[in-house]
Amino acid sequence: MIETDIDLLKGIANQLRIHSISSTTAAGSGHPTSCCSMADLMAALFFGHMRYDAKNPKYHNNDRFVLSKGHAAPILYAAWAEAGLFPVEELQKLRRIDSDLEGHPTPRLPFADVATGSLGQGLGVGVGIALAGRLDKLDYNTYVLLGDGEIAEGAVWEAASLAGIYKLKNLIAIVDANRLGQSQATAFGHETTVYVNRFKAFGWRVEEVDGHDIEEILEVLSGVGINDQPLAIIAKTYKGGGVSFLQDKDGWHGKPLNKEEAAKAIAELQPTAKSASGVAIPTPSALPAPANATPSSYPPINYKLGDLIATREAYGTALVRIGEADQRIVAMDGDTKNSTYAEKFFKKFPERFTECFIAEQNLVAVAVGFGTRGKVPFASTFATFFTRAFDHIRVAGISMANLKLVGSHVGVSIGEDGPSQMALEDLAMMRAVAGSVVLYPSDAVSAEKLLEVMASTRGIFFLRTSRPKTPVIYGNDEKFPIGGANVVRQNAGDKVTVVGAGVTLHEAIKAADALAKEGIGITVVDAYSIKPIGKDVIKAAAAKTNNLVVTVEEHYADGGLGDAVAGELSSEGVKVHKLAVRELPRSGKAEELLAKFGIDAAAIAKKVKSLV
């Protein structure tokens, strides 16, 4: 790198600072000082090191950049504008309702693979992107820029550990150690040795740099990929760096400068600032894109009515079947693959499976990362352990991610392991994710068919599987559209419509048999689609039972199936009576617990009788 280039990059860094300051001042909010600390890093990365097509941010060979410290969005936007993707004038629309230049980046922008802003999530996504690159034999690198405050998040260390284990030499973490958090200094300030030692202990090669010395930054970047470890660059920087009255000063987090202050800062920066226009950005390779085509069909299934198969096992079987037809499918699990049955896929396609160990946040982040690269990622663990990753799943919603979550061991029917292993809140959680679809099969056929829907439809899906074996109740050609429901028992003169799913559907069927003997008919509906709920089917069934509905679910009473039905249909005059787990459960046999917590066939029959 020749001397004049360094001066140019220094000038670009100041130009990025100017954009960050002026756009946040125009917006009246934002984090200009968090941008200034990383301006030299950004200039070096975007205009002196990374290989990408600035006009085509989605090009498959581009190096990837994840801004984990999403509050520094203005400088990310400034970099892409300076790279020529859009006019720099657009930057002045920052944070306006009519602009996609939001307060934190989202994939509404073509260069943001994922939404960031909830701290500590970027590195795990980077791990997924790096693994996808390795799988696809592409040579892009993945750069993740983190703040020093955010590496207090455990999710960062889950990701760091896995990157070390899998020797992701195509992953680079850059820590902008600017010493100052939101409400006070970080715990370690500029004692950057702490970060160096941590990344080393997690299996990374580590370099320390002066984050305002572009020559030093470029030198370290030139060593990317030289050994078989991921690389962490710990950059000592100053918050507000480059502006005399902001640099390293307390009290400037998340505050825009007023107009006078902005003018003063810009006057300091302007003399050395340089436009990036005309800078030759290194060209990415021309390796062929992976064949990420959607198959037109899947191999058929062949179950017999009455076969006893747990839906969790049907998941494993289905994933192998669908995975044969669809090369895009990859899977990952958190050391529960022998219980979730993801192991079947692992054994068949080991190269498309990622063991994420006991680290569910990272499990989801890795899946999201794969999803950004055209893969269809299926992440599985016990359903209740996805609560560990709720923030990641929530943000995946903002990322409009292609993400398939499969949670097993739901409800009290898991039995003796007790409440810590029982998913009783997962429906509430997953329903509350933006744009999510929540599916809940009751037999092997519906599990297999719903998995086809998940694999072939873009978006965030959650499949809830059960531990006990349940009988096959559907023919092999049954359809299970999203937002549907199936009437599995209905006779003229039915008094109540009972809506179940999973294990409770079978309890409802048993209740129907028992009640029939007493001359009480009930309609039974399988609500396999929890979100969107199968409202048309349920409404039509309810209309024939005097609008009386009983819901029964292996879930707490709040936010699950009952609320889904009531929330959708109470406005239509449907009267919904909820049977659900209403107290803290405990260990015991599955059938004992279903009875004790009032969601077995007897409880359903009792409730029905109280209503007719």
Interacting residues with a second copy between 277 and 306 (CB under 8 A): none
CB nearer to a second copy: give 433 or 537. Answer: 433
CB nearer to a second copy: give 304 or 458. Answer: 458
Determine which one of 153, 158, 360, 452 is catalytic. Answer: 360
DSSP 143-162: EEEEETGGGGSHHHHHHHHH
CB nearer to a second copy: give 168 or 445. Answer: 168
Verify binding: residue 391, a second copy, rule CB under 8 A: yes
Verify binding: residue 133, a second copy, rule CB under 8 A: no
Verify binding: residue 208, a second copy, rule CB under 8 A: no
Phi, psi of 411, deg, nearest 5: 75, -175
CB nearer to a second copy: give 290 or 559. Answer: 559
Q: Per CB under 8 A, which region of 74-82, 146-154, 215-223, 513-521 contacts a second copy?
A: 146-154
Verify binding: residue 553, a second copy, rule CB under 8 A: no
CB of 265 to a second copy, least distance (A): 21
Q: Per CB under 8 A, which region of 186-194, 208-216, 305-313, 504-512 contacts a second copy?
A: 186-194
Out of 92, 167, 335, 348, name the contact with a second copy by CB under 8 A.
Answer: 335
Question: What amino acid is encoded at 295 in this protein?
Answer: P
Inter-helix orientation angle 535-543/561-569, to 10°: 70
Q: Per CB under 8 A, which region of 80-88, 267-275, 385-393, 403-411 contacts a second copy?
A: 385-393
Three-state DSSP state, 205: strand
Alpha-carbon dihedral angle through residues 319, 324, 330, 336, given to the nearest 10 degrees: 40
474 alpha carbon, distance to own chain's centre: 32
Output the CA–CA distances (angstroms, integers) from residue 88 to 24, 400, 560, 580, in the order listed.
14, 26, 47, 56
CB of 123 to a second copy, least distance (A): 11
CB nearer to a second copy: give 160 or 220. Answer: 160
Out of 76, 359, 599, 605, name the contact with a second copy by CB under 8 A.
Answer: 359
Structure token pair of residue 192: 């950057």
**Contact mark string toward a second copy, 518..537, x via CB under 8 A:** -------------x------
CB atoms within 10 A of CB 294: 12
CB of 529 to a second copy, least distance (A): 13
**In angstroms, rounded to a whole number, what is the distance separating the alpha carbons of residues 340 and 311?**
10
CB nearer to a second copy: give 421 or 457. Answer: 421
| DSSP 8-state code for residue 423 | B
**Contact mark string toward a second copy, 84..123, x via CB under 8 A:** -----------xxx-xx-xxx-x-x------xxxxxx---
Q: Comparing C-alpha atoms, which of 83, 85, 77 is closest to residue 102? A: 77
**In angstroms, rounded to a whole number, what is the distance separating the alpha carbons of residues 498 and 550?**
5
**In angstroms, rounded to a whole number, what is the distance separating the alpha carbons of residues 440 and 425?**
14
Q: Which residue, chain included where needed, has tokens 């409770």?
A: 504
CA atoms within 13 Å, Cβ hemisphere of 525: 30
CB of 478 to a second copy, least distance (A): 27
CB nearer to a second copy: give 242 or 371. Answer: 371
Q: Per CB under 8 A, which region of 170-178, 271-279, 505-513, 550-558 contacts a second copy?
A: 550-558
Verify binding: residue 336, a second copy, rule CB under 8 A: yes
**In angstroms, rounded to a whole number, what is the distance separating the alpha carbons of residues 91 and 71?**
15
Three-state DSSP state, 477: coil
Please indicate whether residue 518 is annotated as part of the active site: no
CB of 275 to a second copy, least distance (A): 27
Output the CA–CA distances (angstroms, integers) from residue 221 to 65, 69, 157, 170, 463, in the order listed.
14, 20, 22, 12, 42
Out of 501, 507, 556, 608, name the contact with a second copy by CB under 8 A.
Answer: 556
Residues 1-30 that bind a second copy (CB under 8 A): 27-30
Write out the catalytic residue numbers.
360
